Amino acid sequence: MVKASKGTRTKTRNIIKKKPRARGLSPITLEMQRFDVGQKVNIVIDPSVHKGMPFSRFHGKTGTVLAERGRAYEVAVRDGNKLKTVVARPQHLKKNIL
């Protein structure tokens, strides 16, 4: 048997997949979103944009914006008891309404 590859998108068949009618590129306005430091954001991975995609474990998590890093943002996310820093582009972030 061949050894299974352990890339960054393994075991994400249903997590990182668009519905059939939502296929294709996302609106460009998602890239132009601005977030302030201290603002709460939800990490929702957009599979049509590969650059700046956070690791699949953080899909659906909520965090706080720590800083801007180039075109991306640093987001503090709680993973178990640890506080981790995730670097993600704005296409993969949404403002938290609550």
Give 53's pLDDT tier (boundaries 50, 70, 90). very high
pLDDT reported for residue 68: 97
Q: Which CATH number fits domain 20-95: 3.40.50.2000, 2.30.30.70, 3.80.10.10, 1.25.40.10?
A: 2.30.30.70
Average pLDDT on 4-27 reads: 90
* Among the listed residues 73, 10, 14, the one whose alpha carbon sits nearest the alpha carbon of residue 42: 73
Per-residue pLDDT, averaged over 49-63, amounts to 95
In this structure, are residues 94 and 41 in contact, taking their beta carbons and an 8 Å threshold? yes
Using the predicted structure, report yes or no on whether residue 51 has a pLDDT greater than 90.
Answer: yes
Please answer whether residues 36 and 65 qualify as being in contact, where contact means their C-beta atoms are separated by less than 8 angstroms.
Answer: yes
Distance CA 72, CA 12 (A): 23
Q: Taking 90 as the threshold, does the pLDDT of residue 46 lie above it?
A: yes
Tell the burial category of 94 from Cβ atoms under 10 Å away from its Cβ (0-12, 13-18, 19+). Answer: middle
**Is the pLDDT at 8 greater than 90, yes or no?**
no
